[in-house]
């Protein structure tokens, strides 16, 4: 998949070598053991939602202020360890998502910016969904309009 681990904050990527937990923060370090730029991420009550997708080894956090923080792991071992450490340190529940995790996270962040608070839930079985012809968002079967863009389905 990918050759490096990435910390992506609001679409700005940076590679990292490993992550460690320091209290209620995840600290991302380079190969020399030094913290990367913007490498301290709070994992406390300022995080609105924690999401993950096993298929693409992606962990995404949406903060109350609308920031989207994505952690991409190069291998399954790093991903499993990172997810486990974040779960343990945050003490929060994580929502399982599909490959569209980042689009969903950005939609949640946008709604927070508009003052709308959403309930983040696990992704649903795709066989129970229909794809919007305009934006590709999955909607419940029987929907007349897309829940994301409003296009007719």
Domain ranges, residue 137:
124-153
Instruction: Determine the Cα–Cα distance for residues 76 and 10; give it in Å rounded to an integer.
Output: 24
pLDDT digits (tens, 9 = 90+) for 42-57: 999 999 999 999 999 9
Residues 151, 99 share a domain: no
Residues 99, 27 share a domain: yes
CATH code at position 59: 2.30.29.30
Number of structural domains found in the chain: 2
**Looking at residue 1, what is its pLDDT?**
66
Residues 65, 46 share a domain: yes
Residues 41, 73 share a domain: yes
**Looking at residue 124, what is its pLDDT?**
67
Residues 79, 151 share a domain: no
**Looking at residue 34, what is its pLDDT?**
97
Residues 105, 138 share a domain: no
Q: Which residues of the chain have pLDDT under 70?
A: 1, 121, 124
**Looking at residue 31, what is its pLDDT?**
95
Residues 129, 111 share a domain: no
Structure tokens at 25: 């923060």
Residues 55, 30 share a domain: yes
Instruction: Determine the Cα–Cα distance for residues 10 and 110; give it in Å rounded to an integer.
Output: 12
- CB contact set of 149 (below 8 Å; sequence gap of 6+): 132, 134, 135, 137
**Continuous H helices in 31-136:** 76-90, 101-113
Residues 136, 78 share a domain: no
**Continuous H helices in 30-123:** 76-90, 101-113
């Amino acid at each position: 998949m990918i050759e490096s681990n990435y910390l992506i904050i609001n679409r700005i990527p940076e590679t990292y070598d490993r992550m460690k937990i320091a209290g209620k923060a995840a600290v991302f370090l380079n190969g020399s053991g030094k913290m990367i730029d913007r490498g301290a991420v709070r994992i406390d009550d300022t995080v609105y939602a924690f999401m993950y997708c096993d298929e693409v080894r992606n962990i995404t956090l949406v903060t109350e202020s609308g920031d989207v923080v994505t952690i991409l792991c190069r291998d399954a071992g790093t991903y499993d360890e990172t997810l486990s450490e974040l779960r343990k340190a945050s003490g929060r529940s994580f929502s399982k998502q599909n490959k569209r995790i980042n689009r969903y996270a950005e939609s949640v962040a946008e709604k927070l910016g508009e003052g709308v608070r959403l309930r983040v839930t696990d992704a649903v079985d795709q066989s129970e969904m229909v794809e919007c012809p305009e934006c590709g968002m999955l909607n419940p079967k029987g929907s007349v309009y897309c829940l994301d863009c409003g296009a007719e389905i």
